[in-house]
Structure 1
Amino acid sequence: MTQYGMLIDTKRCVACGTCVVGCKVENNLPKDMWYNRVVNVGGENPDSPSGTYAARDLAMGAYTMACQHCSNPACVEVCPTGASWKDTETGLVLINSDDCIGCGACLNACPYDVRRLQEGEPVSYTGFDMGGQGAPVHKANVMEKCTFCAHRVVDGELPFCVTVCPARARIFGDLEDPESEISKKLAEREYEQLLTEAGTEPNVYLLK
């Protein structure tokens, strides 16, 4: 069995947003649709710290957030049509757009706020398709989210966010393989997973 996962080295990540933009281009995402985002850890605004200069307790950090491709995905459990499903060969959580009715059940069940409804017909920034071969087809009134670039993974390639990361902060691989790079890194350093109390068993790790 394979369970693909993602590791993000928070000491290397500079929150530059290259993965966010690269994901949008590779997946031919319509206007106002994003699969990945940068979460600021600090103040309310991007690149702003918490605390005050006077108190000398300023602190700031960031991490990127996308689908966690959970082992126990809440979105799959609540989907009334089976459109949200977990691939047993790769461990990826995917959406069949032909079966999705855009009801929002998965959006409400996911604790990570990473699903988006494509409201109305998709609008392209360029007026023509772009992105990688096999990139998802976008349809009106269906849910979308990060797929770990499943169209690339099936061809033996890495997710595009991993390829374009200038800091080499992202590692993708099989968590079930102890000899994989991601498994070795997780064995070497401390890490955290987001919202583990939700019981979804996320497969994205933030390396400390």
Structure 2
Amino acid sequence: MEKDRRDFLKIGGISVLGLSALPVFEALAQGKDPKAMPDPRALQATQWAIVVDMKKCWEEQEKRQCKDCILACHKVHNVPSIPDAKREIKWIWQEEYKHAFPDQANEYAPEQVKDHPFILLCNHCSNPPCVRVCPTKATWKRAEDGVVMMDFHRCIGCRYCMAGCPFGARSFNWGDPREYLDPQQENPEFPTRRKGVVEKCQFCAERLAVGLQPACVEACKAKALVFGDINDPESEVRKILAENYSLRRKIELGTGPNVYYII
């Protein structure tokens, strides 16, 4: 009875607001909580993917040692800059070809490919092993768009996901990462983590929810990073892949990585 009374008062208050409140009124009439409704600006896909054009990326690196995508990602997500390489936290990073593609590297590869670093990040696999091994479901794959997510509050720091990921895309906080953040640069809109928690790239799920592209894609002046629905034949990522030969990391493992590289 009390619930019915509250709903009546809500609807009565909305009526006073006029037609501008119709979407909220309709949500209440259907028994939905307006606060939980998705933002109408949200970007949608059945499987998000990124295409990285390394030719464009290398050209920009040669001009000015560009790391815009890394800096933008780490700034938006409060990723700490830790000097100790054994304790570093990384969501996007650079790696040599022989380490990025150990199964495809050979001594006869073009010098440009061997000598230039590749941009690496979580592959948001179609069949993510990290999800299968997580005992608390702190990491999971979203059914609606394939993004492999992390719930920092549910993570118990067992690091099973790190052992399960064949791409080294997850970092563990051995200490309090907040000690390495500049209070003047900290982004208050994204949660900071704590000691004993694993973290990684989440394809900027919080930005997708309000209609924005991932921070790395937005920051890339060379347009070397392209984001889109890999299942949509009309998407830009599909059109680019149809016109260029591409590589994916360790595809023989069957994880189905959704980051593609054009070299």
Task: Give the TM-score band, short-chain normalised.
Answer: 0.7 to 0.9
Change (3 A) 1:84 1:193: same
Q: Secondary structure at the match of 2:96?
A: strand
Question: Are 1:169 and 2:230 an aligned pair?
Answer: no
CA distance, structure 2, for counterparts of residue 78 and residue 120 of structure 1: 24
Q: Which residue of 1 aligns with 2:173?
A: 118
CA contact (8 A) 2:51 2:259 kept: yes
CA distance, structure 2, for counterparts of residue 79 and residue 42 of structure 1: 29
Match of 1:192 among 237, 247, 255: 247
Q: Which residue of 2 aligns with 1:37?
A: 93
Q: Which residue of 2 aligns with 1:150?
A: 205
CA contact (8 A) 2:50 2:259 kept: yes
Deviation at 1:42, TM superposition (A): 6.9
Deviation at 1:166, TM superposition (A): 2.1
Structure 2: state its 5+ residue gaps. Answer: 1-44, 83-88, 100-105
Between 1:30-39 and 1:176-185, the stretch displaced more is: 30-39
Structure 1: state its 5+ residue gaps. Answer: 44-49, 52-56
Q: Secondary structure at the match of 2:74?
A: helix
Query: Which structure has the bigger radius of gyration?
Result: 2
Which amino acid in 2 is paired with 1:98? H
Match of 2:183 among 127, 140, 164: 127
Change (3 A) 1:42 1:192: closer
Which amino acid in 2 is paired with 1:183? R
Change (3 A) 1:159 1:42: same
Change (3 A) 1:175 1:136: farther
Normalising by the residue count of structure 1, what TM-score does the alignment of the two structures yield? 0.86
CA contact (8 A) 2:251 2:257 kept: yes
CA contact (8 A) 1:7 1:206 kept: yes
Q: Among all aligned residue pairs of Structure 1 and Structure 2, give the percentage whose two residues are the same amino acid.
A: 37
Deviation at 1:136, TM superposition (A): 3.6
Q: Which residue of 2 aligns with 1:19?
A: 69
Q: Secondary structure at the match of 2:55?
A: coil
CA distance, structure 2, for counterparts of residue 136 and residue 163 of structure 1: 21
Question: Are 1:95 and 2:150 an aligned pair?
Answer: yes
Deviations 1:74-131 (A, max 9, x none): 1001111111100111210011112111101010111101100112322243135623
Which amino acid in 1 is paired with 2:90? W
The 5 Å alignment of 1:13-92 reads 13-14=57-58, 15=61, 16-32=66-82, 33-41=89-97, 59-92=114-147
CA contact (8 A) 1:28 1:135 kept: yes
Write 1 or 2 for the structure with the bigger share of strand. Answer: 1
Q: Secondary structure at the match of 1:13?
A: helix
Count of aligned pairs between the two proteins: 196
Which amino acid in 2 is paired with 1:204? V
Which amino acid in 1 is paired with 2:71? V
CA distance, structure 1, for counterparts of residue 209 and residue 75 of structure 2: 19
CA contact (8 A) 2:75 2:185 kept: no
Which amino acid in 2 is paired with 1:38? Q
Change (3 A) 1:108 1:9: same
CA contact (8 A) 1:134 1:151 kept: no
Deviation at 1:12, TM superposition (A): 0.6
Say what the alpha-carbon RMSD is for the aligned residues: 2.2
Write 1 or 2 for the structure with the bigger share of helix. Answer: 2
CA distance, structure 2, for counterparts of residue 196 and residue 119 of structure 1: 31
CA distance, structure 2, for counterparts of residue 170 and residue 112 of structure 1: 19
CA contact (8 A) 1:17 1:38 kept: no
